[in-house]
Amino acid sequence: MAKKKMQILVCGGTGCSNLQGESIVDNLKLEVEANALENDVQVVRTGCFGLCSLGPIVKIMPGEVIYTKVQPGDAREIVEEHIVKGRKVERLLYKDPVSLKISSSHAEMTSHIKQLRIVLRNCGIIDPENIEEAIASDAYEALTKVLTEMKPEDAIKIIKDSGLRGRGGGGFSTGLKWEIARKNKSDEKYVVCNADEGDPGAFMDRSVLEGDPHAVLEAMAICGYCIEAAKGLIYIRAEYPLAVARLKTAIAQAKEYGLLCNNIMGTGFNFDIEIRYGAGAFVCGEETALIHSMEGLRGEPTVKPPFPAEAGFRGKPTNVNNVETFACVSPIILKGSDWFNNIGTEKSKGTKVFALAGKINNVGLIEVPMGTTLREVIYEIGGGIRNGKKFKAAQTGGPSGGCLTEKHLDTPIDFDNLIAAGSMMGSGGLIVMDEDDCMVSVAKFFLEFTVEESCGKCSPCRIGNKRLHELLEQITKGKGSMADLDRLKNMSLVIKDTSLCGLGQSSPNPVLSTLENFREEYVAHVTDRKCPAGKCRDLMEYFIIAENCVGCTACARVCPVNAITGERKEPHLINPSICIKCGACKEKCKFDAIIIR
């Protein structure tokens, strides 16, 4: 069978499908048949176009014409006009609401394509275990440019002018960090790549290392040249076996090709990279703890100053950057600081990779310019909330961050706006929650994590977080009081103010942020002893609606603790003092007679 002359692509993403995408496919197929075009025209269902607000989307190939907000009834016109007569259906083309300009092709609609890939430029495109593919995609070109055409100061200036800020969470100017490390004179200096990605639900660093390890190696060498370091270390968690394996291969190949060695490309610059393994402790993402862990000591943070740029690994000046930060470096060197500076918002430049997780349709990795709104991320790229439920909150910054709510949907996401909203950028995990999620439980979940991960060195973090967690535990069990809410807040503020490192200084954020944005939920837990989302097991009660119950005994038979009694064909009863709230009865009931209240 030969290739058909034309293709009609219909978006089968969840957003568009919910808007009768299926009937559009059927109608188009019928119309194609009605015009006896089956041999020339093919109707294909596709995944999400990322244009959900304009959906349902239909695209005609060749020509890449995009029709927006297509209804099943439009199928005839599309086939008869566009396919048969070759005339575009004007009324279905996208019209810009401001300029009223009509866009007819996909290429013209690039302003609607929210994602821009700088960090992920080669991920999924090159073979990470073959250095030649990376070289063909311009890897090591930026290093060559820096080594042959630039003084270290010039390269640092480019990075500084580009406005690149640390992607690990802190958001400190990368160029400035390099400059400080350069100024501190020493016979030995180190470049460290922080690949200890610890936030639950974040996996952007892993994906970069698995998809494009040379981007990181090259940037580390550039940094080495800038700060006059000859040695690079990558601190990576052993839980990332694939990333470790691909990094090892990449390092070995770079050495073999003479791109990591003494006298690189005859320029007299020496640089070598080694891998150091972490055991997966969250606190080791903090740079001083990370350095101690690399030195073979306990992964505990120390007071700054001295900063690593003054006295870091083995007491020598050390520059620590995150994987994603390094991955931005080569394109900046090649394309210039102005190019990078034009992307993003006033104070946050470039793009950010987010790991979308939780109750969202298109779970995965995305990269958007800074300043993209949460609404665009969730509804345009993420395909909306799963099962058509209502958006409740998005947690950014993992256990150190906070929640963004409905009122933040249109806030441009950048370092400063997130902090103003009581959250933080963190490494870029973005967990989406819907109406079924209990915010007290969410705060408890993150606290559980920090209690587990606290290194125990300072008491505010070690003891304070434990007490916070206990309070939350009480509240979710219905044993809290209004005074506990004040206690939660006070204690959180004390922990933030007095903890030694970033872990403790940010660990109460999930509590403070949920308390601020969802106080009514906390109040419902302590005053009404109810969990509005129906998540806290101790606060819910299974109940049989007598009118709906037909007395089939199915629930009584499935109950593991015999809490349900009742005669056959008579309404049954659940004894709440025996019930363990396992939910088996509710699942079994065919008559919707069992509810949670």
Partner 1 sequence: MKTINSPADLRKLREDIKAKMQGKETGSKEKVRIRVHSGTSGLASGSKAILDFVTQELEKRNIDATVVRTGDLGYCFAEPTIEVTRPGEEPVVFGNVDKLKADEIIEKYIKNGEYVDGILPVNYQNIK
Q: How far is the CB of 537 from partner 1 (least distance, A)?
A: 30
| CA distances for 166 relative to 144, 236, 320, angstroms | 24, 17, 10
Neighbours of 394 (CB within 10 A): 28
The token pair at 188 is: 């030995």
Name which of residues 367 to 396 contact partner 1 (CB under 8 A). Answer: 367, 381, 383
CB of 192: closest distance to partner 1 in angstroms?
Answer: 23
Q: Which of residues 119-158 bind partner 1 (CB under 8 A)?
A: 120-121, 123-129, 132-133, 135-138, 140-141, 144, 147-148
Q: Residues binding partner 1: what is the number (CB under 8 A)?
A: 75
Closest separation in Å from C-beta 143 to partner 1: 9
30-49: which residues touch partner 1 (CB under 8 A)? 42, 44-49
Q: Does 59 bind partner 1 (CB under 8 A)?
A: yes
Q: For the CB of residue 122, give the shortest distance to partner 1 in the complex, in Å.
A: 8
Among 34, 172, 257, 575, binds partner 1 (CB under 8 A): 257
Angle between helices 465-476 and 482-498 (to 10 degrees): 160
Show the binding pattern over residues 264-283: x = contacts partner 1 (CB under 8 A), - = does not.
-xxx----------------
| Residue matched to tokens 């819910």 | 540
Question: Using CB under 8 A, which of 76, 117, 389, 477 touches partner 1?
Answer: 117
Q: Which of 535, 533, 534, 542 has the alpha carbon at shortest distance from 390?
A: 533
Q: How far is the CB of 138 from partner 1 (least distance, A)?
A: 8
- Tokens 């990094």 correspond to 247
- Please give the C-alpha separations between residue 589 and each of 218, 348, 387, 596, in angstroms, as whole numbers: 61, 53, 22, 13
Q: Looking at beta carbons only, is 126 or 291 nearer to partner 1?
A: 126
Q: Which residue, among 419, 177, 169, has the nearest Cα to 285 in the 3D structure?
A: 169
Site for partner 1 in 458-497 (CB under 8 A): none
Instruction: Kindly tell me which of 137 and 505 has the beta carbon lying closer to partner 1.
Output: 137
Nearer to partner 1, 211 or 308 (CB): 211
Binders in 328-357 for partner 1, by CB under 8 A: 331, 335
> What is the C-alpha to C-alpha distance for residues 468 and 233, in angstroms, rounded to an integer?
37
What mask, x for binding partner 1 by CB under 8 A, covers residues 551 to 580? Answer: ------------------------------
- Residue 317 in 3-state DSSP? coil
| Contact call for residues 311 and 189 (beta carbons, < 8 A) | no
The rounded distance, in Å, linking the Cα atoms of 218 and 69 is: 45
Only one of the segments 185-193, 237-245, 394-402, 497-505 lies at the binding site for partner 1 (rule: CB under 8 A); that segment is 237-245
Distances from the Cα of 86 to the Cα of 17, 38, 64, 82, 266, angstroms: 27, 17, 13, 4, 60
Closest alpha carbon to 437 in 583, 537, 535: 535
Residue 319: which H helix or E strand, with range? strand 318-322
- Asked if 5 and 40 count as a contact pair (C-beta separation under 8 A), the reply is yes
CB nearer to partner 1: pick between 49 and 190: 49
By CB under 8 A, what part of segment 9-28 binds partner 1? 9, 11-12
Stretch that binds partner 1, among 118-126, 187-195, 229-237, 420-428 (CB under 8 A): 118-126
**Binding partner 1 by CB under 8 A: which of 32, 58, 193, 259?**
259
